[in-house]
Structure 1
């Protein structure tokens, strides 16, 4: 590989660095070529001594980014945070997001309690038999049916509870991101 090919490939691979840094690095390598030619070496020999331009570019860009990390622009100010908090307050409390969430969670809790009560229905029938000393086959079959329905409902209620929890946590995290400006 001759001088032109080496420097062209090196410049191409240094694309993520600023132009000024690229030019300084390329000038260094051009001086290596000039010094090597003064010693009587060919461009190909100098290229072999310098190494693979792709590897050199990877090392140079890694070194540059380690010494000069990319600066993240932070745009949160006190006024942005204040407006975010006021907007979230209006959204959450006035426009019924929190009341709606409380109603949904209360409905879920009542379904959970109802499914638990349906599952323990045989115990209630047993207590009725002990207290009143009267046994009815109709009550027994109704109790077993209600217990089965309670078991089926409990699976759905538990699944809905997990999904509701995910939604609530993601909504809370979204509120935090809005207040902190997406950081």
Structure 2
């Protein structure tokens, strides 16, 4: 009997030497967005452009200011318009100031200049990387009468890894806005 108890203890101790089970790591959320489709801004403003059918557009605080709202992504593009009245340089400095205010949190700022002389559309496109509050900004001007800025913001903490898929999706939409931008 003592031999049976001793044998049972050895068997139980060998069986209990297995590794402890560990919880499975949490999976990452896979985000899928709809295919890019566009509609034209139908407003009585001095400009027009195409924006995503996934977004809704609202009038802003001032005349010809708009919010392009992406409700499923908790994102907004703030579009502002300024008529140029011998103050082109001031508008340009203000647009660049809005971009470079984010240098505190941004790890880098990539600038791309664009020019569509046939449509009189000129400007800069800024991509802010890192934990910046705004991820993408641009300005569009005809350099004589009109100046428009656009800034992308998310209604969440700036987490670059988590927001990257949404930023990439909206970046394509913002580039399409620039490509289809027209002065009336």
Instruction: Give me the TM-score of the superposition, normalised by structure 1.
Output: 0.19
Which of the pair has more CA radius of gyration?
1
Structure with greater helix share of residues: 1
Structure with greater strand share of residues: 2
Instruction: Give me the TM-score of the superposition, normalised by structure 2.
Output: 0.18
